[in-house]
Structure 1
């Protein structure tokens, strides 16, 4: 096993292979009998080229491995891709191509940098999710679901090529940060990075010995998940680049794509939750035979045989007297009640983060004579909208926000969040115009819909008073305006 310092950028063998497009074209012809044009696809550690015929149609991807990769490691990567292709027919991994006899199309090639391994891989069309563009919740969930499918498929995979040390492996994060810290030139930022890293590492060490390990792809980022070419939405189903395949904590398969989401426009930590939920539905994050019940600062931990399934589902509330697990007579189990370290609850948070913090404290709303912040689910909300709106007034979100009122060029949701309205055709007038609002508010509502309040909203006007000042969010008529 190589030390992690040997594979750090700038210290070890380098970040890629120095192969030109012309050299790639000759390699394809001489070693694989393929006459094609070569276009560099770029890579941080390998050399990848799209090979195309004269008519522009793709022939294959020529992948020239980094010299640091052994043939055993490359064999593990190809085997893992084949496993996923066989077990997950809905996914499109970049598998190695084979000849008529079933042999992998791979060859040892001499380059200016020395001998390397070249392979022909399946071309996965569609384009990646790279770049800063916004990722809608469906895309985020799809990324988490793919990570779960890959994790499930590779959970039993064993291969000597997995025994490697990579700087991308979170198990070595503290050493990697320490090695690279000197490249952060600003003293204040360098101190902040090291402080955050050491704090996170200390928290991780408390649970590290309990984290399950397995084979993972370790690089299911937006750069390596390919969009489906048959879907107008940016939904991935393709997987490329198995170069970081290794054996590490199983949860890393989820952590890596989550980190890649956060650099996209508008993304915040709570926006990755659909990916966490989708991963957990496919590959449960809680290990079999373990149950944790939290109440305030305390955590009740139960461990029992893997064959026993806990009665409560994940994140479900548990009340006094509720069964936790049915254990056969004579079953040995372990139970402990511990006081868990929790973060100090801040005095104010944004609405989207409130549910997480309220799990650590009591809701003070009843003390103020207000209803609790926990809102009852409204599964019929879209159905109510369809009954009240014309069919041409479609909505553009899988889970549309509930808009209560408008003011000028803003829309205000039931959660009190303000949105810039770039959907409604209100540019000349704006919402809640002080002259048009009173007239709309005095118009009797249609008899076929639920009665609106005397100051109820009207199309493209809102409910604002003539002083042109927004009022605090209040009850939303007919479930709110949904776009």
Structure 2
């Protein structure tokens, strides 16, 4: 039991020492002067001074705390500073007379005074969201500090402290007794009692050593790593150092993270893994960790409630009370057993499983071979198009399957697509912890093991003597049924739902008294599966769904798929399905696709699927054969182009289209030299790469251009050499030196290629009249004007079908790809008959699958759907709405530099400074990663990779656009 002095100390308020008192102490005893700012503390007073000699913290402590405790703090900081690979810690600054601790009376009260240097860095407390890297960093810092203190001894460590989790029970009860809010008091008491019971069982196996006991988000300072993530590298405030349980050090750290967790306590697991990697915990310590976290959360709330009653003006306590309440609510939101299982898995020391083999059969009358297993996962062929979201689809498919085979069952451990939720910031509960069977009414159900039967509402439970409980739904019971059953005794009969059929749900749970959910979130699945094992053995049916091979699949991809072919994200979700503007991974998580300009119609379009299947069943060959679809499609494409551009080449990609366009320019003009724009991208082939100058795609782009390529100044009106809408003449004039050089050389000009809206730079429109002037200068020299519409054409701009229409020009050659095949490899070059015929002097042109029957049908179907579903108009309306939402973010967040583009080709540019336009490259990457966590696929673009490239399918709804804007606002507000 804690002594009376400890309990009295829990009731102390902060020292009554003003900022002026602090200034007098600093000048008189340390020779320091400068601006003073009060720092928060619960029971001390802390002031920071900005002196000419540097920044320091004056710490003022009541005399109720033994001096030897302060000496222990000073000695610990010096001890840690002598170690290698440890977090930074403050240094003790002696007074003018050389003393580490001053003993002064202020206002008639005795105080103990110390001065420490101030550690620079960013605190974490006020950041709502912490990245995984930050959470890992905090756990790693705690582990390194604990390891550094493992050999530290000092008599001042033997102390009575209210925060010592070894004393959580009695201290908590003392704090709770005077609490006025009786409902809160009861909840805190229940949580503390449950935690203390578990801790007491494990106490003898918990190691003791010197611990900081307060490495929290409030007591660390962090610096950004090379990827822009804050990583703690300094620890302050050694006021709670003592000799205590090693695992309590980590418990305090993890508790402080819970108010950043958005209600999900699994958020702390990266910190636990990082600590455990530095300083391994034993099995008992891992088991005790969650109860200690719950105890810490309880003490935090109880202590703050008491402190506010004593010191109602304490701004530090007032500022932290909501965080502490959030910590408590998160800590009690899940069962102890679940978090213990998750923590043991994080420490790679899970509890041993109870054996399930040798148990009897639950359904002895059912032939296991007659049971049809239903697939409700992401790859299910029973879920075509969007019926995965239909109400009661699971039951309907189960009934249908049972009608074919006599009995049907769902699969345990399956991530069900039927449980997904589109436009959700949180992953839905998709992981099945049970099996449901469709059976004939009256099918007998027997006890597979001995136990006590309990019926609670619709739930039937058979509790075994070893803690294993069988949970059943859908039974009729014998009114004379026994409470205690032997293995093989009857439990009941399958109840009728309709038409002589019934539905039985079967679930196991290893934790006595726990009523488990039927589904869990994917991130929680492993822990829940440890508590709720598969009932396959009891059913004699192999009804376990195979685990998704995502991690192994990624390593296989990286092993055999050439490294230059990059993938989105360092740890990408395994996407295997799509519908409209939504994508789905193998765990049933839905993502809003805001970047996929290839799928212009949206994913999984039924009309396109049907037409492709029909044509494949008839014929697919190369375009040298004579068939209707290639003539029809070529005619349709020519009809979309301005008058005179009536001749079409069909290829497989945008790179091939641009490569062919360059060859046409050479053949037509007889010259070789090409003008292109800086910051542009046109493809990967030798010729199209030659005119691509984006350093984001090729860091050597500006130094490896062949001599026939002449890049000219990028007409980037936001961050270019000339800015604003009045910059047209300046940008046109900037081309003249290149043209003059070519004129003097006598080599001639083959042409000019550019995107008519600056796509790769982030959807930036060209200056008004720019192409009119440049096209005229190029044509005056016999050159050909190529409009690269691969990204920006085909209705994506909303206001225009082609990008060049916005500039009021007609090119000589149009190149198009990407959206024209909705993901099918399809590209085209549209030009004049004369330009096309010029290529014949170099021989004929042939593309094996360009314009094949299937490709031609794909192309025509895309055009039909674009028209019939009015997708260009949708791009205009939804794009305008989305741009307005994004521009509104610029009024709230300084990182938003500009919103470029139109329709559904937008670019949101992030900058660190709106005057210098310093690109926020690291921040943009981190924002994209955070958006992925919130269910949005987004990637950066531009030479500095600081622009969000917003190019979703043209079927994007207002609701989806708002979800994207809302999630982006959340990221900018909470952090990344």
Query: Is the CA contact 1:431–1:461 (under 8 Å) kept in the aligned structure 2?
Result: yes
Q: What is the aligned partner in structure 2 of residue 27 from structure 1?
A: 25
Among 47, 60, 64, the residue aligned to 1:64:
60
> Cα deviation per residue 1:285-317 (whole Å; 9 max; x = unaligned)?
0179x9xxxxxxxxxxxxxxxxxxxxxx94389
Cα drift, residue 139 of structure 1: 0.8
Cα offset, 1:352, TM superposition: 1.4
Structure-2 residue corresponding to 1:372: 546
In structure 2, how many angstroms separate the alpha carbons of the residues matched to 1:38 and 1:50? 6
SS in 2 for 1:87: coil
Distance 1:157 1:178 in 2: 32
> 1:189: Cα distance to partner?
3.8
Give the whole-Å Cα distance in 2 for the aligned partners of 1:132 and 1:230: 17
Q: 1:225 to 1:113 in 2, by over 3 A?
A: farther
Shift in Å at residue 213 of structure 1? 1.1
Matched, 1:443 2:824: yes
**CA separation of 1:20 and 1:407: change in aligned 2, threshold 3 A:** farther
- Kindly provide the CA deviation profile for residues 396-421 of structure 1, in whole angstroms up to 9, marking residues without a partner as x: xx534344445566553321123566
- Which one of the candidate residues 211, 215, 225 is aligned to 1:220? 215
User: How far does residue 109 in structure 1 lie from its aligned partner after superposition?
Assistant: 2.3
> Which residue pairs with 1:416 in the alignment?
588
Q: What displacement does 1:195 show?
A: 1.9
CA contact (8 A) 2:534 2:544 kept: no
Match of 1:272 in 2: 268
Q: Which moved more, 1:371-380 or 1:160-169?
A: 371-380
C-alpha contact 1:225 1:236 (8 A) present in aligned 2: yes
Displacement, 1:365? 7.0
Partner of 1:315: 349
Deviations 1:67-119 (A, max 9, x none): 33222100100111111121144421112125899x55442222126222222
* Secondary structure of residue in 2 paired with 1:141: helix
- Structure 1 residues 385, 217: CA separation in 2 closer, same or farther (over 3 Å shift)? farther
Q: In the TM superposition, what are the counterparts of 1:187-226 in structure 2 within 5 Å? A: 187-226=182-221
1:126 is aligned, of 113, 121, 124, to 121
Does structure 1 conserve the Cα–Cα contact (< 8 Å) formed by 2:140 and 2:275?
A: yes
Partner Cα separation in structure 1 for residue 180 and residue 111 of structure 2: 36
Q: Which residue of 2 aligns with 1:350?
A: 521
Task: Output one character per residue of 1:369-412: Cα deviation in whole Å (capped at 9) or x when no partner.
Answer: 45333747325278379858866x853xx534344445566553
Kept after mapping to 2: 8 A contact 1:17/1:45: yes
Contact residue 30 and residue 95 of structure 2 kept, 8 A: no
Residue 263 of structure 1 aligns to a residue whose secondary structure is helix
Matched residue, 2:424? none
- Cα RMSD, aligned residues only: 4.1
Given the superposition, is the C-alpha separation of residues 358 and 31 from structure 1 closer, same or farther in structure 2, using an over 3 Å criterion? same
Tell me by how many angstroms 1:207 deviates.
Answer: 0.8
Structure 1 length as normaliser, TM-score? 0.71
For residue 143 of structure 1, report the CA deviation from its aligned partner: 0.8
Q: Could you tell me how far apart the structure 2 residues matched to 1:382 and 1:110 are?
A: 71
Instruction: Confirm or deny: 8 A CA contact 1:126 1:229 kept in the other structure.
Output: no
Q: Given the alignment, which residue of 5, 8, 14 partners 1:6?
A: 8
- Where do 1:22-421 residues align within 5 Å? 22-53=20-51, 58-98=54-94, 103=98, 105-112=100-107, 114-182=109-177, 184-228=179-223, 232-266=228-262, 268-286=264-282, 314-315=348-349, 343=511, 344=514, 346=516, 347-364=518-535, 367=541, 369-373=543-547, 375=549, 377-378=551-552, 380=555, 383=558, 387=562, 395=569, 399-407=571-579, 411-419=583-591
CA shift digits 1:335-389 (9 cap, x unpaired): xxxx799524724322211112323454357935453337473252783798588
- Write the distance in 2 (CA, Å) between the matches of 1:140 and 1:376: 24
8 Å Cα contact 1:214/1:250 also seen in 2 = yes
The structure richer in helix per residue is 2
In the alignment, the residues of structure 2 paired with residue 246 and residue 151 of structure 1 have an alpha-carbon distance, to the nearest angstrom, of: 12
Cα pair 1:128 1:225 within 8 Å, conserved = yes
Distance 1:44 1:436, change over 3 A: farther
Tell me which structure has the larger Cα radius of gyration.
2
Which residue number in structure 2 is paired with residue 293 of structure 1? none
Distance 1:420 1:68 in 2: 58
Distance 1:211 1:462 in 2: 59
Query: Which segments of 5 or more consecutive residues in structure 1 lack a partner in the other structure?
Result: 291-312, 320-338, 448-453, 469-483
1:141·1:275 contact (CA, 8 Å) conserved in 2?
Answer: yes
Indicate how the Cα distance of structure 1 residues 81 and 287 shifts in structure 2: closer, same or farther if over 3 A, else same. Answer: farther
SS state of the match for residue 217, structure 2?
coil
| TM-score using structure 2 length | 0.37
Given that 2:261 and 2:267 are in contact with CA atoms closer than 8 Å, whether structure 1 keeps it comes out as no
Contact 2:582 2:603 in 1 (8 A): no
**Aligned residue pair count:** 403
Alpha-carbon shift at residue 255 of structure 1 (Å):
0.3
Distance in 1 (alpha carbons) for counterparts of 2:607 and 2:158: 71
Contact 2:146 2:246 in 1 (8 A): yes
Larger relative contact order (Cα-Cα within 8 Å, sequence gap ≥ 6)? 1
The SS at the match of 1:380 is helix
Partners in 2 of 1:141 and 1:160 — Cα distance? Answer: 33
Question: 1:436–1:461: 8 Å Cα contact kept in structure 2?
Answer: no
| Structure 2 CA distance for aligned equivalents of residues 400 and 66 of structure 1 | 53
Change in Cα spacing, 1:6 to 1:386, as seen in structure 2 (3 Å) is farther
User: What is the distance in 2 between the residues matched to 1:460 and 1:384?
Assistant: 31
The range that moved more, 114-123 or 273-282, is 114-123
Distance change (3 Å), C-alpha of 1:89 and 1:440:
same
- 1:439-478 maps to which residues of 2 (within 5 A)? 440=821, 443-444=824-825, 460-461=952-953
The residue number in structure 2 matching 1:323 is none
**For residues 175 and 201 of structure 1, what CA distance do their matches in structure 2 show?**
10
